[in-house]
Structure 1
Amino acid sequence: MKNDPIRIGINPISWSNDDLPSLGGETPLSTALTEGKAIGYEGFELGNKFPKDPAELRDLMAGYGLDVVSGWYSGRAATRSAKEESEAVGAHLRLLAENGCKVMVYGEVADAIQGEPLSLYKRPRFRTDDAWKRYGENLTDFARFTLSHGVRLAYHHHMGAYVESPDDIDRLMAHTGDEVGLLFDSGHTFFGGGDPVAVLDRHIGRICHVHCKDVRPDVVKLARNRHWTFLESVLNGAFTVPGDGVIDFAAIVDRLRAHGYRGWLVVEAEQDPAVAPSYAYADKGYRTLRALLDREPVREVA
């Protein structure tokens, strides 16, 4: 599998949630790594429980026969200059580069409300074309810096942030250079009001990293209608693993393969492990994606 152009990894959020420590906070990292390896995952994205020293991280992961996939960086390019971002990212960028990562998950946290007790409709927005232009230019400059260290910025559109909806993604891509890659997140795309396959098709040339979340549409609908916060939406089960919701992962995998995607599919589904047991759901997510990668792609008839 290591020679496959598309590999399957997982985020430790299935075992313990960095934003909500009450969800699996007591679960040691060793449990996640042992179980993830046993299931068949080839690598993990980073979380708060991983070492921050490059050599220590490399030794830890080698002991489990796992690769480092990538790691989240809390960026503030909406309020800081590219130069300030380049200075701030130094230690994290080294951690990723020295552990063989090709992409860095970029989450815009400036003014974001994903961890705040605020309804999602109160998220920040760029109101003018000029604001989008300035943000895009700044982000592209920063992405040029990370790329000079061998790591491409993978922009994570996210609920409660400046880039949430399909229209936001379109505008981001229009105002940034190719140095800025897109992290396609199926669950956030659906929750943000989009058709995941349509958004994937529109921006497949820029996609450099993929988060595989499924959704429970009835919960998503309640979250919107009742003005839930992002964390309330998570606690109530808006997200789940591939194969447990309604997203067409077969179409997503087929399109990625047809386009020649080379990179990771990362199972990342924020759930309460007391309600959705970590091993069982991580196993279901892996088996769903593995079966899709192992089958012959469906060829459309003209």
Structure 2
Amino acid sequence: MAGRGRHRIPQAGDAGHDRRGAELVNTLKIAGAPISWGVCEVPGWGYQLEPDRVLTEMRGAGLTATELGPEGFLPTNTDELKRVLQEKDLACVGGFVPVVLFKEDHDPADDLAGPLESLIAAGAGVVVLAAATGAEGYDSRPVLDDAQWARLVANLDRLAGIVAERGLLAVLHPHVGTIVETRADVDRVLHGSSIELCLDTGHLLIGGTDPLELAKAVPHRIAHTHLKDVDAALAAKVQSGELTYTEAVKAGMYTPLGTGDVDVAGIVSVLRDNGFDGWFVLEQDTILDGEPAGEGPVRDVVASVAYLRDVTS
């Protein structure tokens, strides 16, 4: 893992950051995500910024593409959605879609239907599935029996097929507080399903998986990436139960790339060396208490873009 403080974090006022950030986007296919501005689907997560500010700041940070964010953040009307993205000069790369996959009396295709139509309308290429628990938030999760696991992996392949029929790619996002959190959970999916993965460097680390090791082990199964850096000390408190996931996020568990304990540069290098041509989505989950004064969350996004520029130049 990378040690903290090895790289100076450039700031929004540094000369040339917009121009060179745009060059990096073209080279590495970098996108943003509204969660870096505190926009989240979890009720009570924190103050939710307006889309206009988030998308304007995203574009100003040198990013040319975004994930959609939670349902309701951007318009559900497909014509309105396309208009908003065009006005902000942003492409859509995909969206995070939590689905309940393990319940016998629930069809996860129903969870997928609305978001899939929005993603198709927005011109996205990727549907980022998460194996939701059916409860709100990410602070606890049930233990499944073998029959429930078999249903889950079968549903993953079924949903991937539905998505493929519409011309998009479905990937599974291992995520803290979902059914697929730990390395054992990830291995169940890898062995029981053919779905490809979203490599989320933060959620994997918090769930007990070394994301660099996973990238080396199964590069052919990784089709989409969420780049996060993590304060490992706070992650350890989540693993021990001393803090909930939400409490740790509020305490600053996610940090600008290059300032935490994830070897982000190594992961990007391994994936690119293995022919990865998918999207790197910048994500630093944050919780806001209110309307930010000054720069706010975009400061960390700009720093992360600049870090990636430095380590891949």
Give the TM-score of the pair, scaled to structure 1: 0.86
Distance 1:20 1:138, change over 3 A: closer
Partner of residue 249 from structure 1, selected from 234, 258, 264: 264
| Equivalent residue, structure 2, for 1:13 | 35
Identity of aligned residues (%): 26
| Equivalent residue, structure 1, for 2:306 | 287
Answer yes or no: is 1:199 the counterpart of 2:221: no
Cα deviation, 1:240-276, whole Å, max 9, x if unaligned, reads 2312211111111111111111121111111234699
Cα deviation, 1:198-235, whole Å, max 9, x if unaligned, reads 01122211111100111001111223334322211211
| Equivalent residue, structure 2, for 1:164 | 181
What RMSD, in angstroms, separates the aligned Cα atoms of the two structures?
2.4
Shift of 1:23: 3.0
Unaligned 5+ runs, structure 2 = 1-22
Following TM superposition, the consecutive aligned residue runs of length 4 or more in structure 1 with deviations greater than 6 angstroms are: none
CA contact (8 A) 2:229 2:257 kept: yes
Partners of 1:148 and 1:285 lie apart in 2 by 35
Shift of 1:78: 1.2
Partner of residue 204 from structure 2, selected from 162, 177, 189: 189
SS in 1 for 2:265: helix
Partner of residue 208 from structure 1, selected from 203, 217, 223: 223
Partners of 1:242 and 1:171 lie apart in 2 by 29
> Residues 1-302 of structure 1 correspond to what in structure 2 (within 5 A)?
1=23, 4=26, 6-18=28-40, 19=42, 21=44, 23-25=46-48, 27-47=49-69, 48-79=72-103, 84-111=107-134, 114-115=137-138, 120=140, 123-128=141-146, 130-177=147-194, 180-273=195-288, 277-293=296-312, 295=313
Distance 1:79 1:226, change over 3 A: closer
CA contact (8 A) 1:114 1:229 kept: no
Give the TM-score of the pair, scaled to structure 2: 0.83
Partners of 1:81 and 1:70 lie apart in 2 by 28
Partners of 1:153 and 1:233 lie apart in 2 by 29
Partners of 2:204 and 2:297 lie apart in 1 by 23
Cα deviation, 1:163-203, whole Å, max 9, x if unaligned, reads 101121111111002xx221110001110112110011222
Shift of 1:10: 1.1
Cα deviation, 1:74-98, whole Å, max 9, x if unaligned, reads 211111579x333442222121112
CA contact (8 A) 1:182 1:209 kept: yes
Unaligned 5+ runs, structure 1 = 296-302
Larger RCO, structure (CA 8 Å, separation 6 or more): 2
Distance 1:24 1:41, change over 3 A: farther
| Equivalent residue, structure 1, for 2:3 | none
Amino acid at match of 1:161: T
Shift of 1:20: 5.7
SS in 1 for 2:29: strand
| Equivalent residue, structure 2, for 1:300 | none
Partners of 2:27 and 2:300 lie apart in 1 by 25
Amino acid at match of 2:307: T
Distance 1:3 1:71, change over 3 A: closer
Partners of 1:109 and 1:223 lie apart in 2 by 19
CA contact (8 A) 2:228 2:284 kept: yes
Amino acid at match of 1:209: H
SS in 1 for 2:94: coil
SS in 2 for 1:71: strand
SS in 2 for 1:106: strand
CA contact (8 A) 1:23 1:273 kept: yes
SS in 2 for 1:101: coil
Amino acid at match of 2:280: L
Distance 1:124 1:258, change over 3 A: same
